[in-house]
Amino acid sequence: MTLVDRPLIQYAIDEARAAGIKEFIFVTSRGKGALEDYFDVAPQLESSLRRKGKTEALQELRKTNMESGQIAYIRQHDPLGLGHAVWCARRLIANEPFAVVLPDDVIAADTPCLQQMVEAYNETGGNMVAAMEVPVEQASAYGLLDIAEANDRVLKVRGMVEKPEPKDAPSNIAVIGRYILTPKILRNLNKKMVGAGGEIQLTDAIAQEVVESDNVHGFRFEGRRYDCGSKAGFLKATVAFGLQREELRDEFTAFLHEITGTRQAAE
């Protein structure tokens, strides 16, 4: 999916790179072969851009290249849940802390969200999840945090529940798709516990760490999150990111005025 002029996955990679991450594992599935090509070199396209003197486009294209050995792809053969997807990468992650980025959560922020989290994690260690307030009626769309104590942006977590009914929600603070995790989470995922929606949930493996190690923090990031997994969220992101681009701003603003004005007039 393309947001303005780059696939969502590129935003995720750019954010991770800004946070100092150098090695990437994609958990993919059938029919996602284009993803591998996207991050590969494209010699024909490069030479055609060079011939036409399109230096800027060439530079943009080169940003998508990855060094050999920096990137790996793992297949999830069955869609058994987010926890299972992360578990599929267990041998590549091995015994190091790792970050998980869900590319359908796009976060616009002055300092990229994962970078903010790495800075906070350098103080806390352990496990950290991005956190944001959501309307409690939407509880069943999120993992929700039970907060023991809040210290500015860092929240001490004493429980986590995946997709509860609003009446069972421990708070209205939801997990957003950025995580910094210890390798112990992978061992918890080995148990393949089946949770909400009949899926193996990452939330449950992290919740186990709350009980066993008490080392889970929420991080209330600065920035605005767009749920690009929903139609309305993706449209909002397109408008917001489009308006941020200098070369598009004037034309796009005029169009939005025109189209909203026309609609109001019709009503």
- Binding residues for ligand G1P, rule: CB under 6 A, are 82, 102, 105, 142-143, 162, 174-177, 201-203, 229
Q: How far is the CB of 204 from ligand G1P (least distance, A)?
A: 10
> Are 136 and 166 in contact, with CB atoms under 8 Å apart?
yes
CB atoms within 10 A of CB 234: 17
Distance CA 174, CA 145 (A): 6
Among residues 105 and 209, whose Cβ is nearest to ligand G1P?
105
> Are 110 and 222 in contact, with CB atoms under 8 Å apart?
yes
Distance CA 220, CA 196 (A): 24
Q: How far is the CB of 91 from ligand G1P (least distance, A)?
A: 23
Among residues 19 and 132, whose Cβ is nearest to ligand G1P?
132
**Residue 134 dihedral angles phi and psi, to the nearest 5°:** -135, 160
Q: Which of 194, 1, 181 is nearest to 97 (CA)?
A: 181
Among residues 201 and 208, whose Cβ is nearest to ligand G1P?
201
Q: How far is the CB of 89 from ligand G1P (least distance, A)?
A: 16
Q: How far is the CB of 207 from ligand G1P (least distance, A)?
A: 10
Among residues 115 and 203, whose Cβ is nearest to ligand G1P?
203
Q: How far is the CB of 247 from ligand G1P (least distance, A)?
A: 31
Distance CA 161, CA 181 (A): 17
Among residues 127 and 201, whose Cβ is nearest to ligand G1P?
201
**Residue 251 dihedral angles phi and psi, to the nearest 5°:** -65, -40
Beta bridge partners of 217: 128, 156
Please tell me what DSSP assigns to residue 170.
S
Beta bridge partners of 108: 224
CA angle 181, 184, 190 (to 5 degrees): 115
Among residues 177 and 242, whose Cβ is nearest to ligand G1P?
177
Distance CA 254, CA 203 (A): 43
Among residues 19 and 82, whose Cβ is nearest to ligand G1P?
82
Joined together, the tokens standing for residue 214 give 């008490």
Q: How far is the CB of 58 from ligand G1P (least distance, A)?
A: 35
> Are 217 and 155 in contact, with CB atoms under 8 Å apart?
yes
Q: How far is the CB of 43 from ligand G1P (least distance, A)?
A: 36
